[in-house]
Amino acid sequence: MQRAVILWLALLFGVASLRVFDFAHAALVTTANVTHDRLPPYQPRFGRARPVVVVLAENYYTELTDYMVPYGIISASGAADVIALATKPGPIRMFPAPMEIEPQETTAQFDQRVPEGADYVIVPAVHRDSDLTLVSWVADQAKKGATIVGVCDGVWVVARAGLLDGRRATGHWYSMDDLRKQFPKTRWIEGKRYIADGKVVTTTGVTATIPASFAIVEAIAGSDRANQLAESLGRRSWSSEIQSSAFRLDLPSLLTIARNYVSFWSYEDVGIPIASGVDEISLALQADVYSTTFRSTAYTVAQSRDAVRTRRGIVIVPDRVARIDAPGRMLPAPDSVQPLRALDESLKAVANGFGDRTAAWVALQMQYPGY
């Protein structure tokens, strides 16, 4: 279920239990702090020249940024072989933007081709986090020695796989109370965008995929490579620090949710033009921001229904076709020069179009400390 829908249901049925989000204080939190935690250095296994990194999806619904941004960042480093997996054949349905992605392999195909397992397994937020195929595959990869990285609510999958007992971990701000209740053997930590405890890494909300991905690159290829990569992609620093207390719901944010939800007459479909070589990092961030407003949904628009291959190898099935069913409003093409800038630029555009409160609401859901 989409993060926004979860929070809306909470508004209807459990407002009294929600804590306060301090917009004024959150605006002061930036990514300028360069402090970050290091993951254990990669230790080559099985005679591999390069580590094998898989990003894992559950076909029913997988969070877009959680899946595409780690794939894009780690692929851009050139330091690892990165594979986009799904638990089953056929397209992966993404959320909150309703994009469809064709996996490069299924988990079964990967097991047959690489029986010794991956070196890193990145687990995004999914709709069915108790799916037996997904949970058991993650547990099996951990037994084979892979480092398991649960990003955002992917931590639920990692916890259900039994990998967090006795460990330190973190998660999306909205889920922390439930995680503490359901997994009391885990030491749940706030104040960190990602935490590594042995061969298990967990992160806070959606945008923590960015610093966590750079931390993986650093573990594989060293600090210089990670820092150079961050600079080239448009992120001057990648702090692991976050002021968790800033991420709460208050009355103005709840009113923003309600206002946007009921303003169905002003709801917009917006298009993002895609073509061969489109940058998947920029595309995912742009689509995620616009599809989390409760005022708009972003759709990919191509010249035909033919699948489009991104800059680093993700295959996207276009949602709409130009001149046939494209939305009336088209967004700028994704930035391929410094793609991580798409996050701030899209939030600014949302603020200009829908208001500051809506942009702050999006940043809250994505747990982004830079807005």
Distances (CA, A) of 253 to 173, 250, 257, 259, 346: 15, 5, 6, 10, 19
pLDDT at 30: 36
Q: Are strands 200-203 and 194-197 parallel, antiparallel or unpaired?
A: antiparallel
Q: How far apart are CA 201 and CA 69, in angstroms?
A: 16
Residue 115, preceding bond cis, omega within 30 degrees? no
pLDDT at 249: 72
pTM reported for the whole predicted model: 0.90
pLDDT at 21: 33
Write down how long the chain is. Answer: 371
**Tens of pLDDT along the chain (371 residues)?**
444 444 444 443 333 333 333 333 333 333 334 567 899 999 999 999 999 999 999 999 999 999 999 999 999 999 999 999 999 999 999 999 999 999 999 999 999 999 999 999 999 999 999 999 999 999 999 999 999 999 999 999 999 999 999 999 999 999 999 999 999 999 999 999 999 999 999 999 999 999 999 999 999 999 999 999 999 999 988 889 999 988 877 766 677 777 776 666 568 999 999 999 999 999 999 999 999 999 999 999 999 999 999 999 999 999 999 999 999 999 999 999 999 999 999 999 999 999 999 999 999 999 999 76
Closest CA to 369 of 237, 243, 240: 243
CB 247 within 8 A of CB 173: yes
CB 370 within 8 A of CB 31: yes
Burial 119-150 (b: 16+ CB within 10 A, else e): bbbbbbbbbbbebeebbebbbebbeeebbbbb
Query: Largest Cα–Cα distance of the chain, in whole Å?
Result: 59
> SS3 letters for the chain?
CCHHHHHHHHHHHHHHHCCCCCHHHHCCCCCCCCCCCCCCCCCCCCCCCCCEEEEEECCCCEEHHHHHHHHHHHHHHCCCEEEEEECCCCCEEEECCCCEEECCEEHHHHHHHCCCCCCEEEECCECCCCCHHHHHHHHHHHHCCCEEEECHHHHHHHHHCCCCCCCEECCCHHHHHHHHHHCCCCEECCCECEEEECCEEEECCHHHHHHHHHHHHHHHHCHHHHHHHHHHHCCCCCCCECCHHHCCCCHHHHHHHHHHHHCHHHCEEEEEECCCCCCHHHHHHHHHHHCCCCCEEEEEEECCCCCEECCCCCEEECCEECCCCCCCEECCCCCCCCCCHHHHHHHHHHHHHHCHHHHHHHHHHCCCCCC
pLDDT at 256: 73
pLDDT at 139: 98
Q: Could you tell me the domains of the chain?
A: 36-233 (3.40.50.880), 251-365 (3.40.50.880)
Q: Are strands 81-86 and 92-95 parallel, antiparallel or unpaired?
A: unpaired
pLDDT at 265: 59
pLDDT at 267: 82
Distances (CA, A) of 227 to 77, 102, 343: 10, 31, 19
Q: At what angle do helices 64-77 and 223-233 cross, to 10 degrees?
A: 120
End-to-end CA distance of the chain: 25
